Amino acid sequence: MAESLLDVQGLKVDIPLATGTLHAVRGIDFAVDKGETLCIVGESGCGKSLTSLALMNLLPRTAKRSADRLQFDGIDLLTYSEHGYSRLRGSRMAMIFQEPMTSLNPAYTIGDQLTEALLTHQPGSRRKARDRAIYLLERVGITGAANRLSQYPHQLSGGLRQRVMIAMSLMCGPDLIIADEPTTALDVTIQAQILHLLAELQRELGMALILITHDLGIVARIAHRVAVMYAGQVVETGTTEEVFNAPQHPYTLGLMDCIPVPGKTERGARLGSIPGVVPSLIGDLSGCAFRGRCPFATSQCDDAPRLRDISRDRACRCHFRPEERRVTAELVPGP
C-alpha cells in the first residue's frame, strides 16, 4: 500500500485556561492520500479549526500540540522547527481560512501578497510571479485580473477576497490544501460557487484537499472520505459513500437525519440539529462523549469507546453496531 500524503495519529491540542486545561482536540487519527479529498464535519466548537491549524503549526500561542505521529509525505512534522515549517507552508501545504474579510493584509496590494507567496519559496523574477498571479486569478474566476493586482483588499468583496486566497494557496502548486470552512462568511449564492471551484481545482490539479465544511450536500458530492468529529474526537470515518449510505455512529445518524441521501441532496443543506448540548471540553471526559445526547445510551456507555475499525477504511467510536442498538431515551425535539 502506498504511503499516505498526510498521516495523523493521536493528535491532541490543549489550551491551558484559568478554569483548567481545555482539551480541544483529544487524540484524533486520520490519513489523506495524494490527490484525495477528505471532508471533516462536525458541530461548531468540536475542534475542526484547531485540528487544521495544528497540522500547519499555526495554533494560537497558548495552545499546545502533541501527537503520536504526524507525517507529511514521509517528513516527521513533530520534530520540525518554525523555520522548517515555514519552508513547507505555502509551498507544499497551503491553507485557506474561514474569514476572507480579515485574512488579507490591508496595507499591501493583492499583487504584492500573491507574488510574495511564490517569491518566498522560489526567489526569482517578479515578472514571472506576476504572470502566475494573473493566470491564477483568472483561473479562480476573477475578471480583469491584471488590474486587480494593484488593488487593496478593502476594494474587493468577500467572495473576491476568498478567490484571491484560493489563488494565493495555489501559487506554488502545493500537494495539500487545507480549507477551513472557506465559505461560512460568504453569501449563500457565492458559497456554492466557491466550493465548486475548490472541488474543480482539486480534480484538475490533482492535489489533496482537506475541506472543513457544514455543507453536507457538498461533502456528498466532492469528498472521497469523510471524518465526523464530535467533542474533539473523530467518531466516524469512512468513504463518503459508506458514511452517507450506512452511517454507523449515532451522532452521524443525527447529522444525516435532516438531509436526503447523496444524489438528491438539496443545495446548501445544513447539518441536522441534535437536541442537547456538547459536553465541556475542559478536563477529562468520562465515558462516551456523546452519551448525554444519544438516544441509544446504556450503562456500558459510561466506559469510553475506542475508535473501532469496521473495515480497512472505516471506523466508528461506539460500543454497538447499529443492529445492536435499542432506543433507550426519547429524543427531545429542539426548540
Partner 1 sequence: MLLYTLRRLLLAVLVAFTVSIISFGLLRLSGDLAAAIAGPEATEAQIEAIRVDFGLDQPLVMQYVDWLLGALRFDFGNSFYFRDSVVSLVADRLPVTLTLGALAIMFALIVSIPLGVLAAVKQNTWIDRSALTIAVSGQAMPSFWFALILILVFAVNLRWLPVSGSGTWAHFILPAVALGYYATPAIMRLTRTGMLDVLASDYIRTARAKGVRPGKVLFKHALRNAVIPVVALAVVQFGFILSGSIVIETIFSLQGLGLLMWESIGRRDFPVVQAVLLLIAMMYVALAFIADLLNAWLDPRIRVA
Ligand X SMILES: Nc1ncnc2c1ncn2[C@@H]1O[C@H](COP(=O)(O)OP(=O)(O)OP(=O)(O)O)[C@@H](O)[C@H]1O
Please report, as ranges, the residues that interact with ligand X according to CB under 6 A: 15, 22, 24, 44-50, 60, 181, 281
Neighbouring-strand partners of residue 255: none
Nearer to ligand X, 278 or 301 (CB): 278
The Cα–Cα gap between 251 and 235 comes to: 8
Which residue number, 167 or 178, has a Cβ lying nearer to ligand X? 178
With a CB cutoff of 8 Å and minimum separation 6, the contacts of 128 are: none
3-state SS assignment for residue 307? coil
Rounded-to-integer distance, Cα 196 and Cα 180, Å: 15
Dist. CA 312–CA 10, nearest whole Å: 18
Nearer to Mg ion, 181 or 242 (CB): 181
- Tell the smallest beta-carbon distance from residue 287 to partner 1 (Å): 36
DSSP state of 46: S
Helix (H) or strand (E) holding 206: none
* Residue 40: CB minimum distance to partner 1, A: 18
Instruction: Find the helix packing angle between 158-170 and 188-205, rounded to 10°.
Output: 10
Nearer to ligand X (CB atom), residue 15 or residue 307: 15
CA quadruple 298, 299, 302, 304: dihedral sign: negative
When asked if residue 121 is in the footprint of partner 1 (CB under 8 A), the reply is yes
Q: Which partner from the list ligand X, partner 1, Mg ion, none does 33 bind, CB cut-off 5 to 8 Å by kind?
A: none
CA distance 48 to 40: 7
The H or E element containing residue 286 is none
Q: How far is the CB of 102 from partner 1 (least distance, A)?
A: 4
In the complex, the smallest distance separating the C-beta of residue 204 from partner 1, rounded to whole angstroms, is 22
> Least distance to partner 1 from the beta carbon of 137, Å?
16
Distances from the Cα of 43 to the Cαs of 233, 271, 276, in angstroms? 12, 8, 12
Least Cβ distance, residue 61 to partner 1 (angstroms): 9
Q: How far apart (Å, rounded) are the C-alpha atoms in residues 314 and 113?
A: 41
Nearest distance from C-beta of residue 214 to Mg ion, angstroms: 10
Largest CA distance in the chain: 67
By the rule CB under 8 A, 290 interacts with partner 1? no
CA angle 205, 211, 216 (to 5 degrees): 120
Q: Which option in Mg ion, partner 1, ligand X, none does residue 67 bind, with CB closer than 5 to 8 A by kind?
A: none
Q: 248: helix, coil or strand? A: coil
**Cell numbers linked to 177:** 490544501
Which residue lies nearer to ligand X by CB, 15 or 304? 15
Q: Which residue is nearest to ligand X (CB)?
A: 49
Question: For the window 78-97, what string marks contact with partner 1 as x by the rule CB under 8 A?
Answer: ----xx--xxxxxx--xx-x
Q: Which of 7, 14, 37, 49 contacts Mg ion by CB under 5 A?
A: 49
Stretch that binds partner 1, among 64-72, 103-111, 139-147, 249-257 (CB under 8 A): 103-111
Could you say whether residue 52 binds Mg ion (CB under 5 A)?
no
The three cell numbers locating residue 299 = 450503562
Contact positions with partner 1 (CB under 8 A) in 151-210 = 152, 154-155, 165, 168
What residue ranges bind partner 1 (CB under 8 A)? 56, 58, 82-83, 86-91, 94-95, 97, 99, 102-108, 116-117, 120-121, 152, 154-155, 165, 168
What residue ranges bind Mg ion (CB under 5 A)? 49
